[in-house]
Amino acid sequence: MEKTATATKALFLFIFLVSAYSTNAQNFNGRLILGINGSQIDGDGMSGYYKPGLVAGAGVRFPVNEKLSIGPEIMYSMKGSKASFDQVTKFGYPRIIYRLNYLDLPIVADYRISGGMQVEGGLIYSRLLNSKLDNGTNLGFVNVPSLFKKSDIEIMLGLKYEVFDNVWLSGRLLYSVISTNALGINQLNNGLIGGTSRGGFYNNLLQFTLSFYLFGNKSIVLAANQATVPALQTPAKTF
C-alpha cells in the first residue's frame, strides 16, 4: 500500500509540473525513456558498477531559448550494489547483493552543443520503494527496510546524441549528495566483511538510456535550428 501511495503521489506531482510548465510554454515534447543502470553503493565495502538494473519512465522538455530546454521526468530505477567475481573468489567476500528500487523524480536541463548532441544536468529526488539484501546464505533475498533512508537526493550529469530520427542515446552519471544509510555509522554489510566505514552510503550509478520522442515538437533542437534559418523570399518579378 505504501509503495502504491508513493507512486500515485509521484504521478500527480509529475502531472502538476507538466501542467504548470505547459501553461507558459509555446511548445514542448514528450518522450518515453528505457535503459539500464550499472550501480554501486559507496561506503558498503564493495566497489565497481557490478549491479545491473532496469530504468524506465517518461519525461517532457520545454524550451527556454534556442539552446536550452528544461523539464521533469518520472523514472522507475533499480539500484544497489553487488560483490564482484574477484571479490568473492580471490578476496573471500560473501556473495552480497543489495537490491534497491527507487522512484526517481528528476528535473533536467538540456543544453545543445551541436545539432545532434546535448549535455544535460539536473537534480533528482528519489523515493525508496523497497530494499533487499542477499548476504550469500541460503536465505536468499530478505527485506532490510531499516538499513536505508526513504529519500535520497542525487545530482546528474550526462551527454546524449540523436542516433536516429526521434531516438536519443544518453549516458548519465548519478551520485547521492546525502547519505542513504539510516543507521548512521556503517557496519559494512552488517558485519559480514567486518569493520566500519566513515560517512554513509551513497548511490553511485552509470545510466544508459534510449529516449523515444512521441508527441509535441520532434526535438527542441530541430525547432531551434529551423528558427535560425531565414525564410526564403521569392524575388519580385520585373515587367
Domain boundaries, the chain: 2-228
Is the confidence at residue 21, as pLDDT, over 70? no
Return the percentage of the chain with pLDDT > 90, whole number.
Answer: 54
Return the percentage of the chain with pLDDT > 70, whole number.
Answer: 72
CATH code matching the domain that covers 2-228, chosen among 2.40.160.20, 3.30.465.10, 3.40.190.170, 3.30.2130.10: 2.40.160.20
Check: CB of residue 36 under 8 Å from CB of residue 28.
no
Question: What is the structure's pLDDT at 8?
Answer: 61
Burial 153-179 (b: 16+ CB within 10 A, else e): ebebebebebeeeeebebebebebeeb
Is the confidence at residue 233, as pLDDT, over 60? no
Q: Roughly how many angstroms between the first and final C-alpha of the chain, as a whole number? A: 80
Check: CB of residue 106 under 8 Å from CB of residue 123.
yes
pTM for the full predicted model: 0.79
Q: Which of 5-9, 112-116, 211-215 has the lowest mean pLDDT?
A: 5-9
Average pLDDT over residues 207-225: 70
Bridge partners of residue 28, in order along the sequence: none
